[in-house]
Amino acid sequence: MSTNSFRNVAIVSCGTMSLELNKLRKDGFLDTDHILYTGPGLHEDMHELERQLFDKVEKAKKRKDKVIVVYGGKFCYVNVGNPTRTMRVLIDEMGPNVARIDATHCMDMIADQEERDRIQQNLAGGEPVWWMTPGWVKFRKYVFKDWAKATANENFPRHTGGAIVLDAVGYMDQYMANEPEAFLDYCDWMGIPMQAANVSMDRFKGLLLDQLKKLEG
């Protein structure tokens, strides 16, 4: 029977999700002693993502025999040279005691499509939105590595509803209060406004528990 305890599990995650995982550990939900992070923003470097992910999982296996990977699916790892080599294939290669949470990307880990649609309607009047989590703000230089202003101009302005940060850790309030110039610079670089949507951690917890139960099964 599941005890909902992560003591016998190691977690390997994209560094972008470190704020949420650290809060869950601080709050006592995650009682594992072993959380390993790859660098944030590695979706921009598919080969480095694969290298770091396998390396961290192998290190995690030396500490615990069960591993939960906190990475999205089709949007986090895109192998243009070999499209059939997907995130699912990578996880399968890691062995039977490695499971990945069931989400397409980090935003989906925090809020499902239905909740994002509701937030989009309420905060952006249904206009197209650029979604982010707090890690996309904190680790901007990694997430948008090598993005010139021209690249930003090509991508962000089409999102007429602006950028919405799905904030389950209270990061944006502190960021805007303590680093107002950095906040304004970020918005100026994107060319669209940025606002926070305060959400709960319930979905993320549920996704982690789903994989815990799968591994225990």
The average pLDDT across 97-114 equals: 97
Kindly report whether the global pTM for this prediction surpasses the value 0.85.
yes
pLDDT at 43: 83
Q: What is the pLDDT averaged over residues 140-163?
A: 94
Instruction: Label residues 139-178 b or e (16+ Cβ within 10 Å = b).
Output: bbebbbeebeeeebeeebeebebbbbbbbbbebbeebbee
**Mean pLDDT on 76-84:** 88
Quick: pLDDT tens for 172-208.
999 999 999 999 999 999 999 999 999 999 999 999 9
Residue ranges per structural domain of the chain: 9-107+201-216, 112-198
Tokens of 102: 């069931």
- How many C-beta neighbours within 10 Å does residue 93 have? 11
Give residue 2's pLDDT. 56
Architecture of domain 9-107+201-216: 3-Layer(aba) Sandwich (3.40)
Structure tokens at 14: 């994209």
Provide the pLDDT confidence category of residue 94 given band limits of 50, 70 and 90.
very high
Angle, in degrees to the nearest 10, between helices 171-178 and 180-190: 100
Q: In terms of DSSP H, where are the helices of 30-103?
A: 46-61, 87-93
**Interatomic CA distance for residues 172 and 34, integer angstroms:** 27
